Amino acid sequence: MTHFMQEMTWKEYASCADKIVILPIGATEQHGEHLPLCVDAVLAEGFSLKLAEQIDGIIMPTLRYGYKSKPMSGGGPLFPGTVDLNGETVIKLVYDVLTEIIRDGFTKILIMNAHFENEAFIVEAMDLVTRDTNGIAKILETNWWDPMPSHIIDQVFDEIPFPGWALEHAAVTETSLMLYFKPELVHMDRITDTKNAEYMPYYRYPICKSDIPETGTLASAASSSFERGKLIVDSVLHELVRICEKEFNK
């Protein structure tokens, strides 16, 4: 049977209430000149499917819009194609979806986030839903970067230094993961080895486009490869399965 909830009949879906349900959340956001706008949605769904195959989970329809892109982590809102939601919208969207999942009888929920800026708003929705449903469901939120073991980061960045997660936007990890999940959407010939964005340890509004490299890539993507993508997927998947076993006894 399919792992995708939207491909099931309502009876098939209803019969799965004892399974782990995975909610992928991404964004629609610029990812440099060599990657499509759907990167975060593709990665959220890609990891969700890999995980669902291992734990026999159910995947909810991917939420493909996210919280505002920030200049120092996503290039910001001044690039065409970055379609941002206000924080309040993200909280309400996630709140409503979680409430409906719980109403359908599911009590094991894992949110697979692939857009850094979403996290605080997702966690707020989790807290509000938990209060309003008396904690009847266990809800987890994770992503693909936090569970990644540090020795894997060293292996992925064996050619160039790791610039830190914030600047790793449209760079080696996301490009390698796209080469793994959807290579037909990656334009390797358009990668220009631009200088890293200069990290600003503070927020400043109004946002200034000249803070960000013109391509929208915050660090070099030059050493990206399918093999590096596979290395990340295999190691993160292993950790995600372990998290599910620990938290859901599955």
Which residues are known catalytic residues? Answer: 29, 31, 40, 115, 117, 169, 174
Stretch of 40-48, 178-186, 194-202, 211-219 contacting Zn ion, by CB under 5 A? 40-48
Figure out which of the listed residues 16, 35, 39, 72 binds Zn ion, where binding follows CB under 5 A: 39
How many CB atoms sit inside 10 A of residue 144's CB? Answer: 23
Q: How far is the CB of 27 from Zn ion (least distance, A)?
A: 7
Q: How far is the CB of 67 from Zn ion (least distance, A)?
A: 12
Comparing CA positions, the residue from 176, 216, 218, 198 lying closest to residue 33 is 216
Instruction: Name residue 102's amino acid.
Output: I
Comparing CA positions, the residue from 236, 17, 22 lying closest to residue 111 is 22
How far from each other are the two terminal CA atoms of the chain, in whole angstroms?
Answer: 19
Stretch of 33-41, 101-109, 154-162, 198-206 contacting Zn ion, by CB under 5 A? 33-41
Comparing CA positions, the residue from 5, 39, 7, 1 lying closest to residue 23 is 5
| Closer residue to Zn ion, CB minimum distance, 40 or 45 | 40
Q: How many residues bind Zn ion (CB under 5 A)?
A: 2
Q: How far apart are CA 60 and CA 112, in angstroms?
A: 11
Stretch of 34-42, 50-58, 156-164, 233-241 contacting Zn ion, by CB under 5 A? 34-42
- Under DSSP, the state recorded for 172 is H
Q: x/- string (CB under 5 A) for Zn ion, residues 165-184?
A: --------------------
| Closer residue to Zn ion, CB minimum distance, 39 or 94 | 39
How many CB atoms sit inside 10 A of residue 105's CB? Answer: 12
Task: Kindly state whether residue 40 participates in binding Zn ion, applying the rule CB under 5 A.
Answer: yes
The separation between CA 24 and the C-alpha centre of its own chain, rounded to angstroms, equals 7
Q: Which residue is nearest to Zn ion (CB)?
A: 40
Which spans of this chain sit near Zn ion (rule: CB under 5 A)?
Answer: 39-40
